Homo-oligomer: A and B are copies of this chain.
Amino acid sequence: MSTPTIYDIAARAGVGIATVSRVINGSRRVSEKTRKSVQKAMSDLGFRPNNAARRLAAGAPNRPRVVALMPFFTTAFYFNVCKALSRKLAAAGTDLVLVDARGQEEADRHLDRLLAERSCEGVVLCSMDLSEGRKEQFDILHIPVIALDFHAQAIPHVRVDNIEGGRLLSQTLTAGGSKKQALIIGTRHAHAFRDREAGFLQACPPGSRVVECEWDAVDSGAAATRELLESFAGMDGIACGGDTLAVGVLKALREAKRKIPDDIQIVGFDDMPMMDFMNLTTIRQPMEDFGSWGGDAILKLIRTPGGPPPDSVVLPLEVVYRGTTRQNPETAGLH
């Protein structure tokens, strides 16, 4: 026997299924004695009530569920997405199921499951691509899919232009006079990072360098910087794929007693909370908007299955000039 049902429990305890049901639901109209024996039977057999059956029989409302697949490798960005998403969905009586999927393989396993079990009515993909043919699978089942932070082919998405962002990274340094630039950027498998890298390479002066970090962490940024300081003499500007890395750069440069921005300029990406305080020049992306657009979009698709898909959106990027670059008149020179 696979997973036991109340029939199995009832048989084992020598009672009717109604009694088992009563015990499960804590009815007080059961004698202490039979309750005990039913509970024993349940734990003997490792019984777990089937939630779908309970909800169906009880006539529970049919709450939609949205599954959000996200790679938790960066702090502030995904957190803000979660926050906005959960608010939007909660307001619509929709559950948000969070799935932490690192890498495409892991994401694919989850997507296969969602498809097989039809266990959600909407999918929000964060910073991920959809494998070949996946879109069609979801279409067949009428499960809407949207993408955040990635330009997935045929599905509605919200994103920024990361290639443009990469260009801005270099241009910001160039505007401040940098001639020999380096880009420190996160994991290769993150599409956003790859795009920023491509944009940077389009705009940077010849002879620039790119250093790739496994982790988007302060220490990675610091380590990469130390290495650059040794091997890339004359470097006068460092761009970072994310603010966290940039903080590491600041740290390493401080240790090396380099002057910022006079000696070396720095520019980050994201404008995470507190970068203001760090006085870091950075490229801001409106993180909160990703989540709220995503919430609205997936809800709309769930509600009007036949309707037109929401228009994809490219959110604006903005250079926030602060003290780590030279084009800003009021350079604070904190560092």
* Integer count of this chain's copies in the complex: 2
Inter-subunit contact B306/A75 (CB<8 Å): no
Interface residues of A in 275-297 (CB under 8 A from B): 276-278
- Closest CB in chain B relative to A117 CB, distance in Å: 4
Inter-subunit contact B43/A50 (CB<8 Å): no
Asked whether A188 is an interface residue with its Cβ less than 8 Å from the other chain, the reply is: no
Stretch of A82-90, A151-159, A308-316 at the chain-chain interface = A82-90
| Interface size grouping (class) on chain A | 35 or more
A79 CB contacts on chain B under 8 angstroms: 75, 78-79, 82
Asked whether A121 is an interface residue with its Cβ less than 8 Å from the other chain, the reply is: yes
Cα-based distance from A87 to B100 in the complex (angstroms): 7
- Closest CB in chain B relative to A218 CB, distance in Å: 6
A251 CB contacts on chain B under 8 angstroms: 277
Inter-subunit contact A305/B43 (CB<8 Å): yes
Cα-based distance from A118 to B54 in the complex (angstroms): 8
Interface residues of A in 228-285 (CB under 8 A from B): 244, 247, 250-251, 273-274, 276-278
Asked whether A134 is an interface residue with its Cβ less than 8 Å from the other chain, the reply is: no
Inter-subunit contact B53/A273 (CB<8 Å): no
Cα-based distance from A63 to B110 in the complex (angstroms): 13
A50 CB contacts on chain B under 8 angstroms: 56, 62
A78 CB contacts on chain B under 8 angstroms: 79
Known interface pairs A82-B98, A97-B97; A56-B63 also in contact (CB < 8 Å)? no
Inter-subunit contact A26/B140 (CB<8 Å): yes
Select A26's contact among B3, B63, B141, beta carbons within 8 Å.
Answer: B141
Asked whether A1 is an interface residue with its Cβ less than 8 Å from the other chain, the reply is: no
Cα-based distance from A52 to B81 in the complex (angstroms): 28
Interface residues of A in 138-172 (CB under 8 A from B): 139-142
Inter-subunit contact B118/A63 (CB<8 Å): no
- Closest CB in chain B relative to A238 CB, distance in Å: 16
Interface residues of A in 13-49 (CB under 8 A from B): 24-26, 39, 42-43, 48
Pairs A-B, 8 closest by C-beta atoms:
A26-B140, A52-B55, A52-B56, A52-B52, A86-B100, A79-B79, A60-B117, A43-B306
